[in-house]
Amino acid sequence: MQLLTLYTLTEVTCLAVALYCLRGEGWNCWGVQRVYLAVVVAVELGGTYLRQLPANNLPLYNGFILVECLTVSTVLRGMLQPLFPRSLGPWLVGWLAVFGVAYVLELALTGQPYVYLNYSVVLMGTVFALACGVYFYRLLMATPHRRISRHAPFWWVSGTAVFHFGGLASNSVLDLTIQQPVMVGELYTCTISPPTP
């Protein structure tokens, strides 16, 4: 059984770098990322293990969606807060409540335990991409200007924007190809349920 793939090795490397580089941080928005990355590695190793049994790993990944939403939302709030005169705490609580309702509704409406909660992930990616856009705008308008080559929050938010925008595009396209598979050459873009000729 092979648990260490290129993907899991990359995540373990990221965790090791975070443990080293963030070793002096407490429980602020930087320090909490060490625990988050440890959870990411544990979920990915668990998902890889379950896939090789073979067993369905979707409940594990669906549960991780909640951890991802809570962690990334909290860290984004920490990055955005210095750029706003008022507390963003109420916005964070409101967003987490809306996401929780959407997550529970999608879970209840699917009626199946082994369905990936794609709409919840698309909602999360959309809000994160918008929040990153707000960050970039507020940072651009802020005075004094910051030197972004040495401004760590800028790079964290940039990485988050790229990751979640890419995930948003991927999940949106994935949903479309599952509903209407397209034939490319001799293969379908989705092999879950190819159309019958």
Q: Which residue in this structure is represented by tokens 């507020």? A: 138
CA distance 126 to 123: 5
Q: What is the pLDDT of residue 186?
A: 76
The sign of the dihedral angle between the CA atoms of 112, 113, 115, 120 is: positive
Query: Which residues, in sequence order, are bridge partners of residue 184?
Result: 187
Average pLDDT, the chain: 88
- Report helix, strand or coil for 187: strand
Query: In this structure, which amino acid lies at residue 92?
Result: L
Taking residues 138-154, what's their average pLDDT? 92
Q: What is the pLDDT of residue 195?
A: 45
Report which of 164, 88, 72, 157 is spatially closest to residue 125, judged by C-alpha positions: 164
Phi/psi for 2 (5° steps) reads -105, 105
- Alpha helix positions (H), 55-151: 58-80, 89-110, 118-141
Q: What is the pLDDT of residue 3?
A: 82
Q: What is the pLDDT of residue 193?
A: 46
